Amino acid sequence: MMMFKFNVFGKEMSVLRINEEWQLFNEPDIGIRSRVYDVVIPDDLKESALATYLDDVYHEYSSTKYPEVIQLNK
């Protein structure tokens, strides 16, 4: 299983590759990771394009403090 962590405009999220499928999760500071079902990441999307995809989906949350999606692990 591959996991990629992102700061999505101030919100920590992770994307996991499970059985040839991308799955998106919220990563709260305290508590349990929760799956995001209303955002579907195309199965054939390359891992190098994940940040751009998340930026496109969540761009309305952009702010001066958090102007972009940043991958936290590489």
DSSP-derived letter for residue 54 is H
Q: What is the pLDDT of residue 29?
A: 85
**What pTM value is reported for the model?**
0.91
The per-residue pLDDT for 73 is: 87
Residue 8 burial (10 A CB sphere; 0-12, 13-18, 19+): buried
Looking at residue 9, its pLDDT comes to 97
Q: Where are the domains of the chain?
A: 2-71
Please give the Cα distance from 61 to 17 (Å, whole number).
25
pLDDT per residue as tens, the chain (74 positions): 789 999 999 999 999 999 999 999 999 988 899 999 999 999 999 999 999 999 999 999 999 999 999 999 87
Q: What CA–CA distance (Å, rounded) separates 39 from 70?
A: 18
